[in-house]
Amino acid sequence: MSLELHGTVHRGDFQRHVDVTADNGEVVAIVGANGSGKSTVIHTIAGLAALADGSLIVNDTPWDVPANNQWVSPEQRGCGVVFQDVRLFPHLNAVQNVMFGLRSGGVKRNDALERAMETLSEVDAHAFALRTPASLSGGERQRVALARALVMKPRVLLLDEPFSAVDERSHADFLQLLPRIVRETGAIALMVTHDHSDVSAIASRVVGL
């Protein structure tokens, strides 16, 4: 598993050249000031924004090479994304949110439910599986969002400030959990963070913007 992003990311009038490289089982931290384009990098890798030029190659597959008109849609990329603004579906409860991607991939309801509950347990969120996002605290929502991204066993895990609202104990738990999952699944994790202790705790590589 490898990821190579060399090119210009853009959103609206904002443009920036970035170089991001990641290998099997790595957690890569993306750091930088506000407005430096960290979230745009996450969106570009997820397929929600396109490169202006350059290339994004994952496992030798060109996901986005504008010069050759090569493009893989976000539905086909299979990235697990934890968005900065969480983006849980408000009309679904926690476990239904986690099941959403599995059901989209054709997993049967009962199997999806079982896997979703397992993943919620892994992030210590099973206690509020039946509650809707509106009734959860910021930290609880982030746990559910993390479970929703992890349940798909993604090849590329994209985390945009995933721990900004969780309490200290959970934060410490996640810092142990994340590298373990990435190692076990052979995935790549790219994590936007402002927290230098996160970087030194789990990142094997740092990209500064």
Partner 1 sequence: MRKPSTSLGLRAIALFAFILVALPLLSIFIRTPWSELGNIASQKTTRDALFISLETSVIAAIVAALLGVPLSWMLARSTARGTSLVRTICIVPMVLPPVVGGIALLTAFGRRGVFGRFLYDWWGVSLPFTRTAIVIAQVFVALPFLVLAVESAFRQLDTGLEDAARTMGASPLRVFLRVALPGARGSIVAGIALAWARSLGEFGASITFAGSFPGKTQTLPMAVYELVATDYRASLVMSLILVVISVGVIATMRDRWMTGAQR
Which residues make up the interface to partner 1 (CB under 8 A)? 46-48, 73-81, 83, 85, 87, 89-91, 100-101, 104-105, 148, 152
Lookup result for tokens 């994952």? 58
Buried b (16+ CB within 10 A) or exposed e, 59-77: eeeebbbbeeeeeeeeeeb
Considering the complex, state which of residue 129 and residue 171 has its C-beta at the smaller distance from partner 1.
129
Considering the complex, state which of residue 51 and residue 171 has its C-beta at the smaller distance from partner 1.
51
Considering the complex, state which of residue 90 and residue 208 has its C-beta at the smaller distance from partner 1.
90
Residue 75: CB minimum distance to partner 1, A:
5
Residue 152 contacts residue 172 (beta carbons within 8 Å): no
**What CA–CA distance (Å, rounded) separates 145 from 94?**
9
Residue 189: CB minimum distance to partner 1, A:
15
**What CA–CA distance (Å, rounded) separates 130 from 148?**
14
> What's the residue count for the chain?
209
Residue 97: CB minimum distance to partner 1, A:
10
Residue 111: CB minimum distance to partner 1, A:
16
Considering the complex, state which of residue 132 and residue 204 has its C-beta at the smaller distance from partner 1.
132
**What CA–CA distance (Å, rounded) separates 160 from 65?**
24
Considering the complex, state which of residue 107 and residue 129 has its C-beta at the smaller distance from partner 1.
107
Residues 6+ apart with CB under 8 A from 141: 86, 88, 133, 165
**Beta-ladder partners of 156:** 79, 188
